[in-house]
């Protein structure tokens, strides 16, 4: 009885980390249970989403109950921050999630860190400093309008505060991470230490509460960054540990229980192509325009399919592109092709295809359908701008490239060297030297009329308008190869 009482008193006197460290070797479960570990280092990366999803699946398949996320990051994109936070929040429904801040979790990485159920920090680690900035194609954008800045800060501030409170953290500290205009003071009110912001402090004075000022945690004009000691004090950290093994001991596990999840080759590929998604879309649209104007070549069609395939594969790896997006993009492309080649002028197929294509591309770039909140609205606006910019810019580039290509030796080779005769049904009516009239614009593909019959044709020179006279100079597959007939051609021969 005395021995049992002594052990009980000893346990009460120990810190939580010491108690769990002593209990760990005594626990048979700690020796057999696996703890999956994912290391997230550097700026926020789309690879992280894939690694977290894979670690989640591995942990569930092995009946593990814990996921330890090691973070050392200066931050990253807001949209990716929210996606990773939502992902960790969803994982927490199946596994106990713990974040270990190795050196720093700044800016958007702080949001990701507090998405876990528990946060551990190394002694010299820090968390906070999360003011949003606008980044353009050339890097950080210069000064922006004050109203726009406040709108952006307000949305980001509300997102950080609500997320912190959802995970049982002080929302005022989360706001001070984001907004340099927030002042935080530590006061003693009626014998209890409290943390208040500048407005709350003034309100207390107005009410005659007379709070006893202790210290300023964050002055106006500064972004709040917490050390491990401060994070412990204000409940943004649950324990201070030296390394991963110490974190496992804090949780009550032995070092042999850890299973490190390392990036696969496909996840490494995500990092390489992640920032070039817009270029893949531009290239795919460009090659489709070339293919529509010079049908039958094969190479542009193959290149367009390859670009779309890589774009969707990238989206699949980071958990954004599923069968819905794939079917929308394929269906949209088919409908647009029907509008161009089979039912031109109806607009129904083209409009439907355009909506499907835009919808598929946008959905493959985000993890929501309809936006919820200011941040998701900004993400949707950015994605729509990018997609429309690509789809409008690519045809101009494609048409310019086609115009230049058909005038080069390479273009002539791709369009096939003129033959002495034409194969199939074309050779019955159309022979080399026959004159024809354009029934549709040749840009450079279209239709011409010879002897009252309609033939597919490709211009070997300039783009031609309806009614222009041309001469057959060869054949390419099932199409005639034609060139513009000079106005005085017939007169010079007579």
pLDDT at 248: 95
Q: Which helix (H) or strand (E) holds 261?
A: strand 258-261
Contact 176, 200 (CB under 8 A): no
Is residue 324 classed as helix, strand or coil in its secondary structure?
Answer: helix
Residues in the chain where the model's pLDDT stays below 70? 1-32, 133-149, 274-275, 291-298, 318-321, 340-346, 367, 373-375, 398-431, 461, 476-478, 487-494
Cβ 288 vs Cβ 300: under 8 Å: yes
The residues near 216 (Cβ < 8 Å, ≥ 6 apart) are 183, 184, 185, 186
Considering the segment(s) 417-493 as one domain, its CATH architecture is Beta Barrel (2.40)
At residue 428, the pLDDT reads: 39
Task: Determine contact, residues 206/236, Cβ cutoff 8 Å.
Answer: no
CATH second-level architecture of 15-142+227-264? Answer: Alpha-Beta Complex (3.90)
Condensed to tens digits (0 to 9), the pLDDT of residues 312-323 reads: 877 777 666 678
pLDDT of residue 410: 52
* Contact in structure between 281 and 309 (CB atoms under 8 Å): no
Tokens of 259: 């299973």
What burial letters (b/e) apply to 448-469, b meaning 16+ CB within 10 Å?
bebeeeebbbbbbeebbeeebb
Which residue is associated with the tokens 């279209």?
Answer: 446
pLDDT for 93 equals 94
pLDDT at res. 405: 61
Task: Output the pLDDT for position 289.
Answer: 74
Residue 3 in tokens = 């021995």
- Beta strands 118-121; 453-459: pairing state: unpaired
Tell me if the pTM is above 0.75. Answer: no
Q: Which two tokens stand for residue 63?
A: 């009946």
Q: What is the chain's length? A: 494
Is the Cα torsion angle 203, 209, 210, 215 positive or negative in sign? negative
CA–CA separation, 443 vs 440, rounded Å?
9
Instruction: Count Cβ atoms below 10 Å from residue 363 Cβ, excluding itself.
Output: 20
- Rounded to whole angstroms, the Cα distance separating 375 from 367 reads 13
Q: Tokens 């001991």, residue?
A: 249
Encoding tokens for residue 239? 């324990």
Domain residue extents for the chain = 15-142+227-264, 276-405, 417-493
Q: Determine the distance from the C-alpha atom of residue 443 to the mean position of all C-alpha atoms in its chain, rounded to a whole number.
A: 36
């Amino acid at each position: 009885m005395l021995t049992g009482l002594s052990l009980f008193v000893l346990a009460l006197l120990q810190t939580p980390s010491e108690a769990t460290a002593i209990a760990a070797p005594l626990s048979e479960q700690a020796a057999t249970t696996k703890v999956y570990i994912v290391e997230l280092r550097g700026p926020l990366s789309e690879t992280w989403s894939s690694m977290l999803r894979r670690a989640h699946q591995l942990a569930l398949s092995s009946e593990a109950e814990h996921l330890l996320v090691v973070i050392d990051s200066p931050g990253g994109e807001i949209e990716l921050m929210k996606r990773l936070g939502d992902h960790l929040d969803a994982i927490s429904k199946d596994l106990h999630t713990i974040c270990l801040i190795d050196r720093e979790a700044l800016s958007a990485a702080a949001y990701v860190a507090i998405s876990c159920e528990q946060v551990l920090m190394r002694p010299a680690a820090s968390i906070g400093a999360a003011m949003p900035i606008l980044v353009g194609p050339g890097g950080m954008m210069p000064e922006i309008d004050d109203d726009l800045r406040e709108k952006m800060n307000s949305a980001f501030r509300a997102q950080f505060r609500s997320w912190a409170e959802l995970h049982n953290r002080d929302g005022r500290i989360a706001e001070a991470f984001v907004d340099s205009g927030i002042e935080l003071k530590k006061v003693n009110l009626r014998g209890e230490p409290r943390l208040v912001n500048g407005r709350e402090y003034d309100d207390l004075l107005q009410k005659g509460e007379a709070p006893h000022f202790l210290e300023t945690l964050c002055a106006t004009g500064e972004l709040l960054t917490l050390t491990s000691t401060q994070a412990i004090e204000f409940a943004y950290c649950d324990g201070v540990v030296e390394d991963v093994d110490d974190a496992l001991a804090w949780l009550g596990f032995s070092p042999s229980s850890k299973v490190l999840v390392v990036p696969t080759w496909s996840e490494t590929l995500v990092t390489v192509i992640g920032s070039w998604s817009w270029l893949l879309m531009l290239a795919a649209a460009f090659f489709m325009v070339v293919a529509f104007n010079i049908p039958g070549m094969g190479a542009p069609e193959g290149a367009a399919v390859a670009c779309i395939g890589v774009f969707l594969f990238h989206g699949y790896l980071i958990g954004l592109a599923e069968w819905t997006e794939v079917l929308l993009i394929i269906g949209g492309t088919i409908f647009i092709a029907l509008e161009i080649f089979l039912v031109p002028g109806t607009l129904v197929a083209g409009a439907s295809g355009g909506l499907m294509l835009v919808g598929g591309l946008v959905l493959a770039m985000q993890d929501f359908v309809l936006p919820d909140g200011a941040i998701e609205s900004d993400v949707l606006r950015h994605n729509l701008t990018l997609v429309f910019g690509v789809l409008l810019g690519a045809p101009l580039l494609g048409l310019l490239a086609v115009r230049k290509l058909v005038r080069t030796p390479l273009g002539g080779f791709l369009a096939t060297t003129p033959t002495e005769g034409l194969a199939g049904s074309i050779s019955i009516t159309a022979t080399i030297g026959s004159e024809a009239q354009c029934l549709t614009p040749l840009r450079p593909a279209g239709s011409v009329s010879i002897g009252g019959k309609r033939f597919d044709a490709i211009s070997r020179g300039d783009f031609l308008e309806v009614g222009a006279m041309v001469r057959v100079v060869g054949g390419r597959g099932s199409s005639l190869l034609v060139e513009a007939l000079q106005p005085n051609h017939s007169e010079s021969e007579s």
